[in-house]
């Protein structure tokens, strides 16, 4: 655990712990500057950039977060510190680099829930690879219409001061929304399954296995498989493959990334293997899938 989380008494990264992190951001490390990722210029080919259908804030808590993004005029390579925030709208790329020590707090707004994540990269292993995200909280409720309206507005802001002011307001409303979240009253086994499924959704681009995932959650691999059969009606591998395929389809429809790049972003190391898996899942190879969807969109 990093120094900021330890100093704040963060223990299990529960909802209350993420409220504590938001209070820290609001009261002790407020937004001083806000940068907004833009679609243009395009990233350098073959870079393993991130593109998602959601709004994301990257908030460094300590150290330096190295990020590359576009600002409409040029590629920006910046080193963010506490109080310096990057906002990435849906379908816009960014390239996080993992070459410097830092703690990172992210707020991720999807159509169905808010996700809070914490990454402790204060002791890099020197590989430069993205670490697994193991500390997160998902709300059961979807973000409020007001939050969604403000996020859309922030994506259109061009004045940096106004952007920082609006981001602070969004964080205050997010804090209230998080505090009001009331988790559904479900059984312990189902709650564990949902936690594992959320772990997969955070990390599907990594080479995950059933055995390693079971070890992370201190479970027997056979028990983990039973959870997936009971609550997903599918295997661990099937659920993970579906997540990867859905993200691959999103990237093929919304970006011009090469299939080799999409292969890596979806957790595959071999393009032929990815292409074969995609063909089996959708009935078309990636290139034809992209062409068909774009023709339908333009018709």
Q: Which residue has the tokens 């073959």?
A: 46
The β-bridge relationship of strands 114-121 and 102-109 is antiparallel
Tens-place pLDDT, residues 7-47: 999 999 999 999 999 999 999 999 999 999 999 998 887 67
Q: Widest CA span of the chain, in angstroms? A: 57
Q: Does 188 have pLDDT greater than 90?
A: yes
Q: Mean per-residue pLDDT for 282-293? A: 94
pLDDT (mean) for 214-241? 96
Looking at residue 184, what is its pLDDT?
76
Average pLDDT over residues 186-197: 93
Output the pLDDT for position 46.
65
What mean pLDDT is predicted for residues 124-138? 90
Nearest to 113 by CA among 146, 150, 148, 138: 138
With a pLDDT cut of 70, the percent of the chain lying above it is: 99
* Torsion sign (Cα): 152, 133, 93, 295: negative
Tens digits of residue pLDDT in 192-216: 999 999 999 999 999 999 999 999 9
**Is the dihedral angle over the CA atoms 5, 11, 12, 16 positive or is it negative?**
negative
Contact 113, 54 (CB under 8 A): no
Supply the pTM of this predicted model. 0.92
| Torsional sign, CA 261, 107, 103, 70 | positive
């Amino acid at each position: 655990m990093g120094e900021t989380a330890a100093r704040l008494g963060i223990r299990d990264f529960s909802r209350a712990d993420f409220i504590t992190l938001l209070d820290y951001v609001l009261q002790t490390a407020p937004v001083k500057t806000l940068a907004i990722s833009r679609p243009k210029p395009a990233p350098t080919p073959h870079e393993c950039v991130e593109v998602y259908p959601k709004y994301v804030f990257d908030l460094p808590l300590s150290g330096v977060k190295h990020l590359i993004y576009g600002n409409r005029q040029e590629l920006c390579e910046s080193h963010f510190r506490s109080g310096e925030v990057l906002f990435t709208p849906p379908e816009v790329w960014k390239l996080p680099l993992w070459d410097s020590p830092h703690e990172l707090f992210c707020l991720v707004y999807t159509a169905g829930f808010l996700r809070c994540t914490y990454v402790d990269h204060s002791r890099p292993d020197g590989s430069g690879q993205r670490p697994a995200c193991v500390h997160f909280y998902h709300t059961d409720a979807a973000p409020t219409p007001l939050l969604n309206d403000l996020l859309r507005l922030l994506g259109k802001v061009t004045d940096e001061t106004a952007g920082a002011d609006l981001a602070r307001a969004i964080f205050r409303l997010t804090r209230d929304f998080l505090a009001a979240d009331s988790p559904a009253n479900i059984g312990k086994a189902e709650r564990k399954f949902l936690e594992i499924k959320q772990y997969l959704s955070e990390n599907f681009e990594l080479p995950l296995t059933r055995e390693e995932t079971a070890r992370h959650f201190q479970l027997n691999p056979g028990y983990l498989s039973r959870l997936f059969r009971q609550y997903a009606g599918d295997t661990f591998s099937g659920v993970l493959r579906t997540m990867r395929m859905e993200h691959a389809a999103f990237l093929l429809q919304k970006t011009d990334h090469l299939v080799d790049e999409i292969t890596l972003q979806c957790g595959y190391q071999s393009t032929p293997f990815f292409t074969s898996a995609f063909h089996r899942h959708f009935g078309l190879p990636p290139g034809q899938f992209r062409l068909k969807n774009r023709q339908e969109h333009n018709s």
